[in-house]
Amino acid sequence: MGALVHRGKVRDLYEAGEDRVLLVASDRMSAFDVVMAEEVPDKGRLLTAMTVFWFEHLADVVPSHLVTTDVPDLPSELLGRSMLCRRAEMLPVECIVRSHLAGSAWQEYRERGTVHGMAVPVGLLEADALPEPLFTPSTKASPGAHDENLSFDQAVALVGGEVAERARHLSLAVYRRGAAHALDRGFVVADTKLELGWVDGEMVVADEVLTPDSSRFWPADGWTPGSTPASPTPRAAPSNAPSPRSASGACPTSGWARPSAARSTPQMRRRPGPGWRSCALASSPTP
């Protein structure tokens, strides 16, 4: 196996030849851009399986970086959580699409009546559907920093007009296709975050796509605007999960405590509850 070239909050990237990388999804959990002390067993396998499913399902919408998951001579602990990928030059922008008012979008709407600075109807409730999905990009923060919202014009300034337009077009197309498929199976995709990059002059989707780490999935039935539903994953809520909004500084959507340091606080050193996904992305503008 090649040398470790990058350790992300969740994924490790290994050298795999000149133009390839091996992307290994760990069981690490990250919330508010902080890696928590406790892992979720097999989470990386779930993220990998979902991403591979979606890459195939979305193949006619956007190509992906995936070469194969069938990697020879892989240590057993890496099986099911590894993707051999084409090395991409990643866009310095997180491509976020929101169709419902959750997380930081709900917070902004409550405070200013806008979503990502854009006008939306008045009188919406938390978790309400927006009239149409919105592209709400953000910066890709360096380690230890938080992602910042980017207006479309700021994204244009960063990557150029044509690239920003293409990223918006592909992100909305991925969202629409993924959300339609999820709805068929009883789930709303409230928002999602994509990472796009360049491979051989072609824009591809990389990293992960439409996973519980990158997206809010809500059960389509039994969900009513007025509060943000807990994500249905992982299925079993642990017995020691804090009750929503029990902790000071709790995550506005799930009730999970907001860690303040580079590692989790003792309060966070519990097994994550059903709101793990909502909280993980409610912290920063992503999504």
For Mg ion, give the closer residue by CB, 126 or 207: 207
Task: Name the site residues for ligand ADP (rule: CB under 6 A).
Answer: 6, 8-11, 13, 21, 23, 65, 85-88, 90, 195, 197, 206-207
Q: Is 179 helix (H, G, I), strand (E, B) or coil?
A: helix
Q: Cβ of residue 189: shortest distance to ligand ADP, in angstroms?
A: 18
- Least separation, in Å, of the C-beta of 124 and Mg ion? 29
Are 220 and 231 in contact by the 8 Å Cβ rule? The answer is: no
By C-beta, is 18 or 111 nearer to ligand ADP?
A: 18
Smaller CB separation from ligand ADP, 65 or 258: 65
> Which residue number, 139 or 254, has a Cβ lying nearer to ligand ADP?
139
Shortest reach from residue 120's CB to ligand ADP, in Å: 27
Q: Quick check: 24 and 82 in contact, CB under 8 A?
A: yes
Instruction: Tell me the pairing of strands 20-25 and 114-115.
Output: unpaired
State the minimum distance, in angstroms, from the CB of residue 156 to Mg ion: 23
Q: Both tokens of residue 269?
A: 């050193």
Return the range that interacts with Mg ion (CB under 5 A); candidates 90-98, 106-114, 180-188, 207-215: 207-215
State the Cα–Cα distance between residues 126 and 108, nearest whole angstrom. Answer: 11
For position 207 contacting Mg ion by CB under 5 A, the verdict is yes
Smallest gap from Cβ 85 to ligand ADP, in A, equals 4
CB of 11 to ligand ADP, least distance (A): 3
Report the distance separating Cα 287 and Cα 276, nearest Å. 14
Could you tell me the two tokens for 155? 């994204």
Residue 213 site contact among ligand ADP, Mg ion, none (CB < 5 to 8 Å, cut-off depends on kind): none
- For residue 132, the surrounding DSSP H or E stretch is strand 129-135
Write the CB contacts of 262 (distance below 8 Å, at least 6 apart in sequence).
34, 144
Least distance in angstroms from the C-beta of 65 to Mg ion? 12
Cβ(58)–Cβ(64) under 8 Å? yes
Estimate to the nearest angstrom the gap between the alpha carbon of 270 and the chain centroid: 22
CA 19-22-28 angle, 5° bins = 145
Nearer residue to ligand ADP within complex by CB, 126 or 192: 192
For position 12 contacting Mg ion by CB under 5 A, the verdict is no
9 versus 271: smaller Cβ distance to Mg ion: 9
**Nearest CA among 107, 96, 87, 287 for reference residue 206:** 87
Query: Applying CB under 5 A, which part among 40-48, 60-68, 115-123, 203-211 lies near Mg ion?
Result: 203-211
Interacting stretch for Mg ion, rule CB under 5 A, among 15-23, 74-82, 106-114, 206-214? 206-214
Say if CB 205 and CB 58 are below 8 A apart: yes
Task: Choose between 33 and 207: whose C-beta lies nearer to Mg ion.
Answer: 207
250 interacts with, out of ligand ADP, Mg ion, none, CB within 5 to 8 A per kind: none
Nearest CA to 206 out of 214, 265, 98, 163 is that of 214
Q: Do residues 45 and 35 touch, judged by C-beta distance below 8 A? A: no
Picked from ligand ADP, Mg ion, none, the partner binding residue 98 (CB below 5 to 8 A depending on kind) is none
Q: Report the interface residues with Mg ion, using CB under 5 A.
A: 207
